Amino acid sequence: MTNINQQSISSVIDRAIQQLQKNNPVRVSLPDGSQIHIDRQLPFLCIYRQPAGRIDTGTDQLITSQSAYILTSAAPEQQADIKTLIKAIAEAQVAAFGTTLLLELWTADTDSTDNVFHIVAPDQDPPEKLLETMENALLRVTIHRKTPKIKITYQDKISPPGLPPLLDKNCLANCHYLGLEINPVFRERATGEIFAFGFKAFRQRFNRALKHSFFSFAHEYTTHRPAHYHALGPRAITRTAQLTGHKLAEISHCFDLLLHVSPVNTDAAWESFKRHNYGREVQFHYRPRTIDPDLLKRQLFQIPIENIEDPTLANIFAAKRNELDRQITLVADRNTPRFLLGSRQLFGDVEPDLLQLAQQIMAKTEPPTSGENDDDVLDSKAFAAYARKELDYYRGLDPELSSQVEIRPDIPGIMVSRGNFLIGASAKVPQKRVNATLAHEIGTHVLTWHNGQQQSFRELQAGMAGYEPLQEGLAVLSEYLTGELNAERLRQLSGRVIAVDLITSGADFVETFRVLHKDYGIKVWSAFMMTMRTFRGGGYTKDAVYLRGLVNLLDYLGKGKQLEPLFLGKLAQEHLPLVEELRWRKIVNPPALLPSYFHQPAARERLEKLYNGVTVTDLIKELQ
């Protein structure tokens, strides 16, 4: 290659082959800009030669999401060295798997073709089963919801126009060599400008199509037997991706949105509200903001997510950056009319079906007739003792669990913040709800924080974008599995949904309180707390996610999908397919800790029932 003598090329080849034989990753950047990236021993190799003298923007990125690729130049003086390098790698792959596949990619340099994909196969002994699979996979790379046109030709020599083949015919036994020409529908042909959103979707679908093809090739032609096509994806996280994950996690840990919007004068506000016969708006006070939103956003958008080669990680990181942007804006907009609009962007409005379900729960269940006896209620210190005992149990299973219990006067109720269990000094917990509360807060929020901390993929500790519905759905489900979810709790979750719908419909604090108390029979203190939670900060609409998350989770389990993997970190339901891919690629590991109720026969029996299909409406009947 340019400015590299034969001895240097031999040295590169020797080092690469030595690493491959040890099943270690090979990642080499050469002075001429060429890149070799092979994640481990695999029976395929993608190749792209950058053409000289014409724009070919984005084409190289179509293979950088694969586990084994070479990016190099089409310069004539480099072709001999390229062929030497590729032949050596192919020989190593054949030695490991019995055969290998070389797939060279290029783009069509003409407007005359209607085909999106043109597969070029050898005219002698073509791999017909692979070609059929590849064609079917590429047909799913839809463009504007249209099925792409595909052409297959068979010819003696396979290479981009004007370039020599990378391997001479029959120079290497058991090596299959295919070409794939792509019509660059993802960019403006005249200028080479990428259609950003279209390219992202095209790349993801194309990446999946190649993985399906390589999976088929491995099973049909080699000794390799991957269990899933995702298992052929890269297992190593690049340094760029690692740094991006760490930087996003650092920014996420710079502030706690829930603490920033939680009033520090809840008890005083309640006394004032009660003193004025529940008819006057209350003033909530908040802790000082500890971040400069402008500086934090500057740091956020300096993170070069666009440099990440892996589209799965790039997708997850981009979604988290957008969420952090909105969260930082909420901190800045606290106690202003803009806050409610930002909160609705984050958590969405109440869907008509969800509101109807909440009203149905209220209609089908009776309000509690009496309060708890003092002897049946634990104060903050007594409950903290139970919480510390629960954490000690999990610490006995994993000494790395660092979470602590704190009793704080500036906390309304109970919450988990950065893995620590925070109890308001005036909080009271009914004895009959102790196990449910511990399962909700520690068995879900603390454990998913800890399990996420054990992952190399740090997003699972800070929380994937949009993780709250699944997280709170899991927490409420844990109350059911411990046998302590009751109709009163479902009424509480329904009241929260109704309160969120009221504030987004224009109701004020007093009107919302009165609807909850008078129309739905919720006790004055509970109605006040529901209203406070919804109006804090200026309109915090998160509380609809509890019932929404439970509905979605029951639907998920009813399809036979397992509960255990949902505890490996703070996951978003819409990103579960991406997490599943990362699990197959061994980037994400099983959860370090599972809730204690997983070992309880009664809880397992309830869980098995959920796998057969149970709705919230079914739960109402069961819990009455």
pLDDT band for position 2 (cuts 50, 70, 90) = very low
Cα(304)–Cα(264) distance, integer angstroms = 38
Cα(216)–Cα(211) distance, integer angstroms = 9
For 371-419, what is each residue's pLDDT tens digit?
555 558 999 999 999 999 999 999 999 999 999 999 999 888 899 998 9
**What pLDDT was estimated at residue 370?**
62
* Number of neighbouring beta carbons within 10 Å of residue 44: 26
Q: What is the average pLDDT across 61-65?
A: 92
**What pLDDT was estimated at residue 99?**
95
**What pLDDT was estimated at residue 176?**
93
Of the candidates 438, 426, 525, the one whose C-alpha atom is nearest the C-alpha of residue 478 is: 438
The torsion angle over the Cα atoms of residues 233, 236, 240 and 244, rounded to 10 degrees, is 80
Tell which wins on pLDDT, 592 or 1.
592
At 85, which helix (H) or strand (E)? helix 79-97
Residue 471 has which token pair?
């997280």
For 576-606, what is each residue's pLDDT tens digit?
999 999 999 999 999 999 999 999 999 999 9
DSSP symbols for 194-217 = B-HHHHHHHHHHHHHHHHHHHHHH
For 317-359, what is each residue's pLDDT tens digit?
999 999 999 999 999 999 999 999 999 999 999 999 999 999 9
Mean pLDDT of the chain: 92
List the beta bridge partners of residue 46: 69, 103
Cα(118)–Cα(292) distance, integer angstroms = 53
For 435-469, what is each residue's pLDDT tens digit?
999 999 999 999 999 999 999 888 899 899 999 99
Cα(469)–Cα(543) distance, integer angstroms = 9
Cα(283)–Cα(456) distance, integer angstroms = 43
For 184-200, what is each residue's pLDDT tens digit?
999 988 888 999 889 99
Q: What is the average pLDDT across 149-159?
A: 93
List the beta bridge partners of residue 165: none
Is the Cβ–Cβ distance between 458 and 246 less than 8 Å?
A: yes
Counted residue by residue, the chain has a size of: 624
The residue type found at 103 is: L
**What pLDDT was estimated at residue 367?**
85
Q: What is the average pLDDT across 121-146?
A: 93
Instruction: Give the domain ranges of the chain.
Output: 6-235, 256-290+333-623
At 12, which helix (H) or strand (E)? helix 6-21
**What pLDDT was estimated at residue 168?**
77
Q: What is the average pLDDT across 199-205?
A: 92
* Plot region of 151 (φ>0 → left; ψ -120 to 50 → alpha; else → beta): beta
**What pLDDT was estimated at residue 521?**
94
Cα(344)–Cα(325) distance, integer angstroms = 14
pLDDT at 3 over 60: no
**What pLDDT was estimated at residue 4?**
45
Q: What is the average pLDDT across 107-132?
A: 88
Give the strands of the sheet with 414-417, arranged side by side.
405-408, 420-424, 414-417
Cα(430)–Cα(565) distance, integer angstroms = 31
Share of the chain above pLDDT 70, in %: 97
pLDDT band for position 369 (cuts 50, 70, 90) = confident
**What pLDDT was estimated at residue 374?**
54
Per CATH, domain 6-235 is 3.40.50: no
Residue 524 has which token pair?
């004055």
Is the Cβ–Cβ distance between 480 and 489 less than 8 Å?
A: no
**What pLDDT was estimated at residue 269?**
95
* Plot region of 100 (φ>0 → left; ψ -120 to 50 → alpha; else → beta): beta
For 74-111, what is each residue's pLDDT tens digit?
888 888 888 888 999 999 999 999 999 999 999 997 66
The torsion angle over the Cα atoms of residues 575, 576, 580 and 581, rounded to 10 degrees, is -20
For the chain, how big is the Rg over CA atoms in Å? 29
Tell which wins on pLDDT, 622 or 580.
580
Q: What is the average pLDDT across 17-23?
A: 90
